[in-house]
């Protein structure tokens, strides 16, 4: 098990990501498995602090879900009515 240190820079982040890549397939219960869990938590914390991803607008969220499901605006008419038009 490698000594785990806080991630405070891009260099630290890259080192942690490289180590995660090395031990990604560690068996459950192995020391590397615990190390992997800790490193993933540290990376998530660092990235959420330095690269926050905001929430989409409600319209963007609906459009994204429509795209995932292969839906068109016409498919939503039974639920939202005809007032739903592009550009509004």
Q: What are the sequence ranges of the domains in the chain?
A: 10-50, 55-88
Q: How confident is the model at residue 83 (pLDDT cuts 50, 70, 90)?
A: low
| Average of per-residue pLDDT across 54-59 | 92
| Average of per-residue pLDDT across 17-33 | 93
Predicted local distance difference test score (pLDDT) of residue 81? 79
**81, HSE (Cβ side, Cα atoms, 13 Å):** 1
Structure tokens at 45: 């914390």
Mean pLDDT of the chain: 90
Question: Per 3-state DSSP, what percentage of the chain is helix, strand, and coil (rounded to 5)?
Answer: 60, 0, 40
Residue with the larger pLDDT of the pair 87 and 63: 63
Burial degree of 24 (CB within 10 A; 0-12, 13-18, 19+):
exposed
Alpha-carbon span 4 to 20, nearest angstrom: 12
Percent of the chain scoring above 70 in pLDDT: 91
DSSP 55: P
């Amino acid at each position: 098990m490698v000594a785990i240190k806080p991630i405070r820079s891009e260099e630290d982040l890259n080192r942690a990501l490289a180590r995660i890549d090395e031990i990604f397939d560690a068996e459950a219960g192995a020391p590397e498995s615990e190390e992997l869990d800790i490193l993933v938590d540290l990376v998530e914390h660092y990235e959420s602090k330095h690269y926050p991803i905001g929430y989409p607008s409600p319209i963007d969220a609906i459009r994204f879900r429509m795209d995932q499901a292969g839906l068109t605006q016409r498919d939503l008419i039974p639920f939202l009515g005809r007032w739903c038009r592009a550009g509004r």
